[in-house]
Structure 1
């Protein structure tokens, strides 16, 4: 039989293993990206995902200004807004609610546009636009297309370069054009429509600089 001291030392690794197992953190709940209608009810925000009937209350942990941004857009007129959001689903204590969406990212909030019926959204990597003069740019895995009033669509191949702090750039020198789009993770509001997006954009076309806002499409997660 082992002496008491020897038995104690023999059991120490077992105790340590139990302690390590007990203190392991629980895995974080996955986040979901959802598009849908955002509306106000009794002073709170509700979100109805595209193609669904359930209504989710919006939880805001302080990382988003969605309450203020949505209130400004809702004040412009009746009817719901379109929102592209990411967050964790959770149970809701609100009576009659179908759950809660605890936000981690707000990609886009807008009143104008096709909303849930946007064609080609799932193939879109990025969209960017600006005003005065008006321009919009769509990016897919096959190339980019620049749209400007009164001018033909400029369709070009491109190269993407990742930069520090979540920034990246798209560039092309095809067909005698020099185009660069610089994108940064910075909340941006369209001065004409009030649309709020999670990226700022700067378009440089043949030496001319135009600024605007951008957001990722359905084919990109970040």
Structure 2
């Protein structure tokens, strides 16, 4: 299975201003554009540097300061669960935007202690989910959903987009004698075995058997 992830580039625009010696008509200057504050997924690493938090984008030698703008500091609390406060370097996928020299993060999609940058998801993979005891993994996107439980054969079924609405995404399919129901809910989910946190909880029901775990968007 592929995993839904990563290469990220955070870019900064440099505005060149005229000097006093330049003869410029103000009316000829382009109107300044408002800052783009639409949250997007940012992929990279977060680490402590002294008393500051820094974000370094994947495949980029630059960095910006990291600022948690989530309600009640939920992003920071989630990252502290897997070691940020203790000084550990984290691989993160965060919803946010860059303003000046800061990444303003509002939501966690996925974060892992000492994780490496992953390849971004494609149209063929919109979700990934997993759980423990028993172990299982799932990838959904494109035209199929793949589900594998520990010690059992993989089940592959047709898939149609499960688009989140009000923090909830559902999908149900009947095919080849199987009934599969997926439920992804936008709540913080921690996998202690993998030392990871996720932005979504997952419930997968196959032929009457329900398994629970964590999910993230690809």
TM-score with structure 1 setting the length: 0.72
SS of corresponding position for 2:54 = strand
Unpaired stretches in structure 1, ≥5 consecutive residues: 1-25, 92-98, 218-222
In the aligned structure 1, how far is the partner of 2:167 from the partner of 2:90?
Answer: 28
| Cα distance in structure 1, aligned partners of 2:106 and 2:86 | 27
Cα distance change of structure 1 residues 147 and 76 upon mapping to structure 2, 3 Å threshold: farther
Instruction: Quote the offset at 1:159 in angstroms.
Output: 4.1
Partner of 1:46: 54
The 2-side partners of 1:160 and 1:88 are apart by 26
Among 60, 65, 83, the residue aligned to 2:92: 83
Query: Higher helix share goes to which structure?
Result: 1
**Judging changes above 3 Å, is the alpha-carbon distance between structure 1 residues 78 and 204 closer, same or farther for their aligned structure 2 residues?**
same
Distance 2:135 2:48 in 1: 31
TM-score, length of structure 2 as denominator length = 0.73
Which position in structure 1 is the counterpart of 2:132? 131
Q: CA deviation at 1:163?
A: 7.6
Taking a change above 3 Å as real, the CA distance of residues 149 and 77 of structure 1, as seen in their structure-2 partners, is farther
Pairwise CA distance, 1:181: 0.8
- Cα separation, partners in 2 of 1:44 and 1:128, compared to 1, 3 Å: same
Any conservation in 1 of the 2:142–2:159 contact (CA below 8 Å)? no
Contact 1:171–1:178 (8 Å) recurs in 2:
yes
Provide the secondary structure at the position in 1 that maps to 2:126: strand
Is the radius of gyration larger for structure 1 or structure 2? 1
Tell me the residue number matched to 2:189: 188
Count, aligned residues: 183
SS of match in other structure, 2:122:
helix
Change (3 A) 1:48 1:110: same
Tell me how far 1:60 sits from its aligned partner. Answer: 1.4
